[in-house]
Structure 1
């Protein structure tokens, strides 16, 4: 069960979705297409925090960190946030802004590789869009000719 999300966090997340940074926009253009069948959310509220990107199936938060994350109290804040997320079964990967600006495609591929590795370690099946489609009758052992 996921933690409650304060209304103020939800409102802030909605505002941030409209005002993505350039690196966020570049990465979102790729992740929004559900590459490999994996769905991502942008500016996703998680308890009191807002995650840049989130893959719920893999319990993975993706944060794009600029230079501000190295200044003042931000490193301590990021550490508290990561601890809180881990306590709620969400791991965080931090990606430098420069990496996204240099190649959003390469960053997206590394994220997808990590998602796949995590899902394999969790023993989760591939996303439903990649599994073979079966009708309920095939699953139940019914054959079409028996239904006539």
Structure 2
């Protein structure tokens, strides 16, 4: 799965750019901890994949990280379909709530480190 190219809708590029410029606080907090190969792999923010955009993605190991805010409270079926579509391409998902990132960052980072170690 390493560095596998996942097709995406080119129309999502502008939206992804806007999302990067307008990140939520939990996204900013997590980005500060995972950027610049902090876990020995490179993550990217707001990555278009298929017809979706994932919050963080590492092409090297096929790991996507999603931060779920209150907008996800009522979109369980959409999120499950989206995740399933991407998992069909071999993508592994980690999903955290805004609250977990803000209040339990250490555990979030440990979970990410374990996943990175497992996938390397």
TM-score, with length taken from structure 1 = 0.73
Superposition pairs of residues 1-148 of structure 1, within 5 angstroms: 1-71=4-74, 74-119=75-120
**SS of residue paired to 2:78:** helix
Aligned length: 117
Unaligned runs of 5+ in 2: none
2:20 and 2:106 mapped to 1: Cα distance?
Answer: 21
Unaligned runs of 5+ in 1: 120-148
**SS of residue paired to 2:28:** helix
Larger radius of gyration: 1
The structural deviation recorded for 1:67 is: 2.5
1:7 and 1:36 mapped to 2: Cα distance?
Answer: 29
Distance 1:117 1:19, change over 3 A: same
Q: Residues 2 and 88 of structure 1 are in contact (CA less than 8 Å); yes or no, is this contact kept in structure 2?
A: no
Q: Residues 16 and 46 of structure 2 are in contact (CA less than 8 Å); yes or no, is this contact kept in structure 1?
A: yes
TM-score, with length taken from structure 2 = 0.89
Relative to total residues, which structure has the larger helix share, 1 or 2? 1
Higher relative contact order (CA 8 A, sep 6+): 2
Instruction: Name segments (4+ residues, structure 1) moved above 6 Å.
Output: none
The structural deviation recorded for 1:2 is: 2.7
What is the RMSD of the two structures over their aligned residues, measured on CA atoms? 1.4
2:39 and 2:90 mapped to 1: Cα distance?
Answer: 23
1:49-68: per-residue Cα shift (whole Å, max 9, x none)?
10100111221110011232
Q: Residues 39 and 116 of structure 2 are in contact (CA less than 8 Å); yes or no, is this contact kept in structure 1?
A: no
